[in-house]
Amino acid sequence: IDARYDKAHTNLGVVLQLQKQTQAAIDSHMRALTLNDQSWESAVNLGLLFWSEGDLKSARQFFSKALAVRDDASLWHYLGLVSEQQGQKLEAIRHYRQALKKEDPSISHLREEIQSRIRYLLGGNRDQKTELVPNKDHK
């Protein structure tokens, strides 16, 4: 890998993620961001990695960083999920509504779920809530 090529570090990070080598994947994506602070893909992947590890503060930080580069409906959705897990209901609702406002076809399969989460957060049926990240304790 050319140490100066951020895309190579991003791609390596993805491969390491798939191999469940979390710390190595984090290191690779961090290197990509050091080389190119506009690396949307690495910021998203870092958000996902930290989220899967239960580090919600870092997940939020990297999803927000990616959002600053690209206004993307899936990122608003991720921020809604993280905010909900952190108990920040109004913030979660705001993020979910931003995701819906984008009318992005890449999240069309999630529209009903997002609307359901908003209803739940506004005091709807508790049975509508689903597990957000079932595999780790949250920090």
As to burial, measured by CB atoms within 10 angstroms (0-12 exposed, 13-18 middle, 19+ buried), residue 42 is: buried
Q: Quick one: pLDDT at residue 125?
A: 64
In the numeric block, the tokens 């409906």 are attached to 73
Q: Quick one: pLDDT at residue 57?
A: 98
Q: In the chain, where are the structural domains located?
A: 1-70, 71-139
Q: What span, in angstroms and rounded, lies between the C-alpha atoms of 123 and 103?
A: 25
Note whether 131 and 113 are within 8 A (CB): no
Name the CATH architecture for the domain at 1-70. Answer: Alpha Horseshoe (1.25)
Q: Quick one: pLDDT at residue 107?
A: 86
Q: Quick one: pLDDT at residue 28?
A: 97
Q: Quick one: pLDDT at residue 6?
A: 92
User: CA end-to-end span of the chain, whole Å?
Assistant: 34
Q: Quick one: pLDDT at residue 129?
A: 47
What is the CB neighbour count within 10 angstroms for residue 135? Answer: 8
Residues of the chain with pLDDT under 50: 126, 128-139
What is the CB neighbour count within 10 angstroms for residue 56? Answer: 19
Q: What span, in angstroms and rounded, lies between the C-alpha atoms of 3 and 26?
A: 16
Q: Quick one: pLDDT at residue 139?
A: 42
Q: Quick one: pLDDT at residue 51?
A: 97
